[in-house]
Amino acid sequence: MRPDEPQNQPTGLTSAEAAKRLQKHGPNALAEAKPISVWRILLRQFTGLLVLLLLGAALVALVLGEHVDSIAIGMVVILNGVLGFVQEWRAETALAALRNMLAPKARVIRDQELIEIDRREIVPGDLILLDAGDQVPADARLTTALELRVDESVLTGESAPVSKSIRPDDANNTVMMGTHVVSGRAEAIVEATGSKTAFGKIATLTGSVGEKETNLSRQLGKLGAQLGLVAIGIGVAVALVGVLVGRDVIDMVMTGLSMAVAIVPEGLPAVVTISLALGAAAMVRQKALARRLQAMETLGSASVICTDKTGTLTENMMTTETLWITGRQYDAVGTGYDPTGRILLEGQPIRYGANADLDAALDVMVGCNHAKLRREGAQWQMVGDPTEGALLTFAYKGWTSIPAGPALSEIPFSSARKRMSTVRWLGEDLIQLVKGAPEQVLDVCTHWRGPNGTAVLTDADRKSIETAYASFAERGLRVIALARREVSQTEVKEESLEFIGLVGMVDPPRPEVRAAIQACKSAGIDVIMITGDGPLTARAIAEKLNMPVERTITGAELEQTDDEALAQLLKQPVLFARTSPEHKMRLIRTLQADGQIVAMTGDGVNDAPALKKADIGVAMGTRGTDVAKDAADLVLLDDNFATLERAIREGRRQFANIQRFVRYLLSSNAGEVVAILINLALGGPLIFLPTQILWMNLVTDGVTALMLGLEPGTSDQMTQPPRNPKSGILDRTAMWIILAFGAYTGTASLYLFHSFMHEGEAIARTVAFSGMVLFEKMSVFAFRSFTRPCWKLGWFSNPLLILALVAMIGAQLAAVYWPPLQTLLRTAPLGWEHWQMIALFAIPLVAVPEIIKTLRTTQDGPQAE
């Protein structure tokens, strides 16, 4: 490759100048996609089947002269709308906040320093740096381009990446905002920002968080629609039958309508979306950002996590510990990126210039490197790749001289090639400097710095190098090989190199990951490490993390393995090392074919397809490229595996809670339907008035269900195997339990109704109505868990639920004794004897399920939910 060397190397803006330009040109942002308006959210609350039914009921009541009923129903419509609005507004604002968290960064040179800034602060004239995986932050003219290829499909629709150069005659010497760097590196001067860019002219930025349709809400939407039809059918049938058997027409029409209202769980899909959105907002506090709500739902059913090692399982805080050159070992003192340590040879400090071997190694460390070290107060900051940062720090500890001028040409590092080369002047000599994974570097070496100076690399020499490599790797060190050669032209050819030595760097495992892996194991989730690092290093790290590994398979071996054999391999604890991003796709495909729900982590540009293919694509917040983040469902803001485990835990909790409140609400509806239907068959007068049904469904049950959705995680949540994603919210057991509760509460309130009929219809109805409300409140304890008794869960572990129960019982007392509500709900004041009877029927609703659960727990240990 010819060097694309600019005549006048641009140096970027000063921060004062940049601030001035920011004033003039405004922030580098596009007009945000219009936030959804308050009015639309409000209006949305008053559409849909439920509201139409209610409005129909209000109208019928009005026409029939039942003014109180129509006012009551009207109020319910408004109350329901306002509650829905508040919830949805909260969810919308939570999602908008999440969208803002994704505000990406860009690297610019300001005041001669490489810094990272918010992309919005870029101004025309800024010198920006671009790397593989970056999204181009503004329209810019290239000043340096090394193997730069850009995906411009967002602008042109053309999916093949476009090669770029800086030649003035080349039409491809600019880069556009919104496009993605596929490979290579570049520097460019910004020419247009914000809405003045090509992208800005044609597009408005749409926030990517907020695809709200999840499988679950779709499923529930379907269930809602089906039940809606059933409801209308039953409603009409009830009204017709009633009229035919000579009942009051008004009463029957109202009963039919309220029956329909009683059955339709119309609000469920919205409630699910809202809980998932609020859950997503809560999860951000735990450092996991769900980019799609679907992820929240899928997380709970993840059965395999494929994770990379560097930065996710480890700290990604590299420190070069040792340098090995022909058997001689140089050690560094100090950790982190503070270059004030020393290099020691046999305990004695040694510096650049003391011996040629060390000099050659240190030259590669600084000359084939893009990292920068900067001092901020007492702290040293590193900008760039941690591996390169560690090499630079080591070189600085040896007082290495910094090569003058930029590299003349380069083949950048990529995870697929696993090595990097630059060509530059070192003094009078034109030198190619190479570093990379030992396998990849040794592959292109023909000579080495042996004990007697430069010599041809024999098989025996290779063996001794490999032995040194293995001894580093077995200690869990990350190993980088260094090489060089003198060249006569600037074109980079990776061949006939002279091997210099091996660098061993520590990247300690993150302390919290060990427990997180253990938690995944007991939750039935397999954790598979897929790393670009070498097999021995990977295995040593796995051991430190207590990850079971029976087989280590390299990328090369993987390519030799057929699908069937791979499927078998994946059934045992296995680790994949020296892989390329493409290998991830194959592993996902094989795992998914086996019915697994796969979470896959990734950070590079080449990881994007795998992140899309995985059931849950997980990108890294700090280390990840824009492309990876774009493709992911979940972003770990701290890059930490332990965060992923917490997100799964949270996903499980949320799913269980949605399950709880859906089941609970349906059981309440079932009770009302049973009571109304049997009563109708018996020919009794109306057991519940329409307004009473609305009161139960929308006020007392609604609030209780919402609080049931806030159940804390249980200790057994991560000891159960992952949920089968095909099993919906309502399995057979749940259906039976819902029906059993419905049958009991329905018949019990019916019994109360008829046994107090001699005291008048108003009293009897109030007893049945209050009974039903209380029964529904009491059943909530069973729906907290079908398997774990409340004394195990803690009766007060969800204080908001208890508060809701107390408040709703208070509301029911008001309904019975407070004159305005008495008028609205047509209730009559009850006496002690009535409440005693209600209590008598209510107690078994708590006691029986608790006894059954207790007996089952003590007999066979805890069961699955």
Binding footprint of ligand ATP on the chain (CB under 6 A): 308-310, 385, 387-388, 413, 415, 418-420, 435-437, 478, 480, 531-533
SS3 of residue 191 by DSSP: strand
Of the pair 255, 531, the CB lying nearest ligand ATP is at 531
Of the pair 179, 387, the CB lying nearest ligand ATP is at 387
Of the pair 137, 532, the CB lying nearest ligand ATP is at 532
| Residue ranges in 554-613 assigned as alpha helix (H) | 555-560, 563-569, 581-593, 608-613
Least distance from C-beta 600 to ligand ATP, angstroms? 12
Marked catalytic residue, from 4, 251, 308, 607: 308
Of the pair 221, 412, the CB lying nearest ligand ATP is at 412
- Packing angle of the helix pair 249-263, 641-682 (nearest 10 deg): 160
Q: Which residue is nearest to ligand ATP, using beta carbons?
A: 532
Of the pair 278, 600, the CB lying nearest ligand ATP is at 600
Least distance from C-beta 411 to ligand ATP, angstroms? 11
Q: What is 480-531 written as a DSSP string? A: EEEEEEE-SSS-----SEEEEEEEEEE-PBPTTHHHHHHHHHHTT-EEEEE-
Which of 706, 841, 829 shows the shortest CA–CA distance to 773? 841
Least distance from C-beta 618 to ligand ATP, angstroms? 13
Which of 459, 447, 328, 343 shows the shortest CA–CA distance to 396? 343
Of the pair 311, 789, the CB lying nearest ligand ATP is at 311
Give the number of C-alpha atoms closer than 13 A to the C-alpha of residue 453, restricted to the C-beta side. Answer: 0
Of the pair 480, 492, the CB lying nearest ligand ATP is at 480
Cβ neighbours for 542, distance < 8 A, ≥ 6 positions apart? 529, 549, 575
Cβ neighbours for 443, distance < 8 A, ≥ 6 positions apart? none
Q: How many CB atoms lie within 10 A of CB 82?
A: 12
Residue labelled with tokens 């100048």: 17
Name the DSSP class of 309: S
First to last CA, the chain: 62
How far is it, in rounded angstroms, from Cα 268 to Cα 664? 12
Give the number of C-alpha atoms closer than 13 A to the C-alpha of residue 315, restricted to the C-beta side. Answer: 12
Least distance from C-beta 620 to ligand ATP, angstroms? 9
Of the pair 413, 695, the CB lying nearest ligand ATP is at 413
* Token digits of residue 203: 């597009």
Least distance from C-beta 131 to ligand ATP, angstroms? 11
Least distance from C-beta 371 to ligand ATP, angstroms? 8
Element (H, E) at 141: strand 139-151
Least distance from C-beta 602 to ligand ATP, angstroms? 9
The 10 Å CB-count burial string (b at 16+, else e) for 426-443 is: beeeebbbbbbbbbbbbe
Q: Would residue 459 show up in a list of annotated catalytic residues for this protein?
A: no
Which of 429, 432, 408 shows the shortest CA–CA distance to 420? 432
Least distance from C-beta 580 to ligand ATP, angstroms? 8
Give the number of C-alpha atoms closer than 13 A to the C-alpha of residue 721, restricted to the C-beta side. Answer: 5
Least distance from C-beta 100 to ligand ATP, angstroms? 28
Burial class (CB in 10 A: 0-12, 13-18, 19+), 38: exposed
* Token digits of residue 252: 């029957």
Of the pair 397, 478, the CB lying nearest ligand ATP is at 478
Residues marked as catalytic: 308
